[in-house]
Each structure stands twice: as C-alpha cells, then as structure tokens.
Amino acid sequence: MDWKEARALFPAVGKTVYLNTAGGAPLSRGSAAAGLRYYQQSLDDGDVHWDDWLEQVEAVRRKLARFLVARPLNLAFTANASTGLNIAAHMLRGTGRVLTVADEFPSVTLPFLQLGYDVDFVPTDHDGTIGIDDLESADSPDTGVLAISFVQYRSGFRADLAALGEYCRERDMALVVDATQGFGAFPIDVSASHVDFLSFSGYKWATCGYSIGALYVGGRFLEPAKFPLVGWRSAREPYALRNDELDLAESAVALEQGHPPFAGIFALGASLDQIEKIGIGKIAGRILELTRYLHERLDGAGIWILSTRDEAHLSGITLVAVDEPAAVVAALKERGIIVSARGNGIRVSVHYYNDHADVDRFVEALAELAGA
C-alpha cells in the first residue's frame, strides 16, 4: 500500500502534525466531494433528485452492512452515536441493571441514567484495561445490559468484542457497543460478536465529518412495538401517508423517522469506498504499526505511557503522562502539533494518514517541552 498516496487524500495533514483523530478527523477529499455534490445538486435543481438520493442512501446502507457483517434492514442512519445509544436505552427498558466501565464515555452511560436504570460502574486498571474477570466480579443476577465502547476514548483500550459477546450470551445479557473510536480503524463483525446494539459517529476514524452516524439493532430486539421514535418514514408503506394507524416497518430504517441526512450519508459512503479500496485489515495494521513506533519513541525519550502495552488491546489511541496537560496541548499547537488533553495526560491518536515523521516531530517537541 502506498501510504503517501493515502495521506494525500487528506489535505489537512499536510498543514499540521495531526494526531487528534480521536477528537475529530479531517475530511478526505472523497467524502467532502460527495457531500458537496449533494448540495450542488440541490442548489442547481431543487428537490428533483429525491428518488435518486434515496437510492444512493440504500446503496450506502448495503455497503455499511458489508462492513459490519450485518443485514441492511438492521441498520439505521443517525445524526451521531448519542442518538443511537439513546434509542438502545429506550428499547432495552425492563431488561435489568446496566454494567459499564468507570471511565466510559458519557454518551454510553447518560441515556441509561436518564431513564432511571440502575447502573454499576466497573473500575479499570491504571492503563484502562478491563477484563472479563472484572465484569464477572461486578455483575449480578439482575444485570441485563453491558454497555461499553469498542475502544475507550481516553486510554485507547480496545475490547475483544467476540469475548464480550460470548460473556453476554452466556448470561442472557444485551450487549450495547459504542464503536465511534474503532469504526473505520478496525474490523467489526456484529454477527460473530453477538452484538445487540452498535452505534457510532462518523467524524472520527471513519473520516466523513459531523452529523452522520449509524445504529445497528440485532434481530432479537428489532420489534416495532419497542421503537421509541417514529415518523412518516417509519411506516411499512410511507407514501401511503396514513396518520390514523400504526403499521411500522419491521426494520431499523423505521428509526430514521423522516428524511435522511443525505450529505452525511453520501460522505460516509465515500469513506466506506476508500476504506474498502485500502482494506480495513491493512488500515488496522498501519495504525498498530504507527502506535508501536510511537511507544518505542516515547520509551526512548523516557516519557511515560499510561495506555495498555498489551498487543491484543492496542488501538490508535495512546495516553501520555504529562504535567499540566492543557498547557502542554496549547504549547504543542503553537508548534503545529495537534493532540488533546484527557485526564492526567495528553491523548495522541494515529490514523493511516499519519506517518513516522509525524510521530518523530511530536516526540521531539514533547521531549523539549518536558526539559524546558
């Protein structure tokens, strides 16, 4: 794979050392063009392309289904991961207590707290590691849901979804996954992993910008009677425009309610094309190779890494220990290096558009700041 060619698809990374995909990725040329094409058509012609746009939406849904090893009817497009996680929380009412991670992203836990669920928070190790043993020590006969991120937003710990799925299946628990920090970076097979709900936003590792995400709903929960949100496109025959009866489609598409977010869906479709062209396996390999190189350079500079070093759970995210993280992030930004402050350190995230020179510049600058 020519990684220089792939890097050229992201003009923003030529302007700065961009190590902040976990915060928000730059758009690729292809995704930007796909969104702009929709706006240009609407500008030039108004709404006459509606039927064509809907056909394109379904084409993207089929692409997404292939990426997740799912059926298209189990997928709904959303504005963001939070929307999907709220839908999951509503549809799971009455299933029992929720088990989650102490350092979990708020969008994973707040929907359940808002609805009055009893939520148990499992502490993690110092490097963010969470194991099956940790979950077993915290669950109870009343636990009905495990809500967890595929990749933890702060530590970068990447969960074994297959192991989590088996754990939940053995206990008849629902598995709810926020895949925002992993979708577009690592393979995901919702069928093999027995995932019940999976939600993600596209503006990070999928590199397709804000205002687009998706929700997967597993077959055992795909019941129209449990759909918490409906609209005219939720009907089995939406163009019949019946307003005096409920006849909902038995698919996740019903959860979209009204018109689709066309520009975002088309941008996602272009990103999926790019990922497919490169290969998700190659992308994952590139990310892990850059992460290992980052760790080697940090070790060589005597800079402490707070994230796991376990190869099976590495991701593109590394948390680095520094004093006064916000000040260090600001100082790095002045040098043209973009990272984020998280907890007791700075979060560094590498994607396939990064290279070894990006890592070198970051480590050299951080070492200089540490010695200042």
DSSP string, 104-123: --HHHHHHHHHTT--EEEEP
One-letter amino acid for residue 262 of the chain: F
Report the percentage of the chain scoring pLDDT > 90.
96
24 pLDDT above the threshold of 80:
yes
Domain with CATH 3.90.1150.10 in the chain: 3-19+280-371
Retrieve residue 247's tokens: 């006849």
Question: Out of 93-107, 126-140, 294-308, which region has the weakest mean confidence (pLDDT)?
Answer: 126-140
Retrieve residue 328's tokens: 């260090």
3-state secondary structure of 158: strand
For 221-231, write each residue's pLDDT tens digit: 999 999 999 99
Question: What's the CATH code, domain 3-19+280-371?
Answer: 3.90.1150.10
In eight-state DSSP terms, residue 26 is P
Measured CA angle at 331 (ends 325, 337), to 5 deg: 95
371 pLDDT above the threshold of 90:
no
For 137-159, write each residue's pLDDT tens digit: 888 999 999 999 999 999 999 99
CA distance 149 to 164: 11
CA distance 218 to 360: 43
Average pLDDT, rounded, for the chain: 96
Q: Identify the H or E element spanning 214.
A: strand 213-217
Query: H/E/C letters for each residue in 34-63?
Result: HHHHHHHHHHHHCCCCHHHHHHHHHHHHHH
Mean pLDDT, residues 155-169: 97
Q: How many CB atoms lie within 10 A of CB 267?
A: 32
Q: How sure is the predictor about 343, in pLDDT bands with cuts at 50, 70 and 90?
A: confident
* Phi, psi (rounded to 5 degrees) for 291: -65, -45
Give pLDDT, residue 126.
Answer: 87
- Give buried/exposed letters for 342-355 (b at 16+ CB in 10 A, else e): beebbbbbbbbbbb
Give pLDDT, residue 193.
Answer: 97
Mean pLDDT, residues 161-184: 97
Burial of 314 per CB tally in 10 Å (0-12, 13-18, 19+): buried
Nearest to 88 by CA among 219, 201, 227, 191: 227
196 pLDDT above the threshold of 60:
yes
> For residue 32, what are the CA distances in angstroms to 42, 115, 215, 267?
16, 37, 22, 6
For 295-334, write each residue's pLDDT tens digit: 999 999 999 999 999 999 999 999 999 999 999 999 999 9
The answer to whether 145 touches 173, Cβ cutoff 8 Å, is yes
Give pLDDT, residue 13.
Answer: 96
CA distance 90 to 82: 12
Mean pLDDT, residues 182-192: 98
Give pLDDT, residue 1.
Answer: 77
CATH class of 30-277: alpha beta
114 pLDDT above the threshold of 90:
yes
356 pLDDT above the threshold of 80:
yes
Name residue, tokens 């991120």: 149
Mean pLDDT, residues 20-29: 97
Domain with CATH 3.40.640.10 in the chain: 30-277
Give pLDDT, residue 372.
Answer: 45
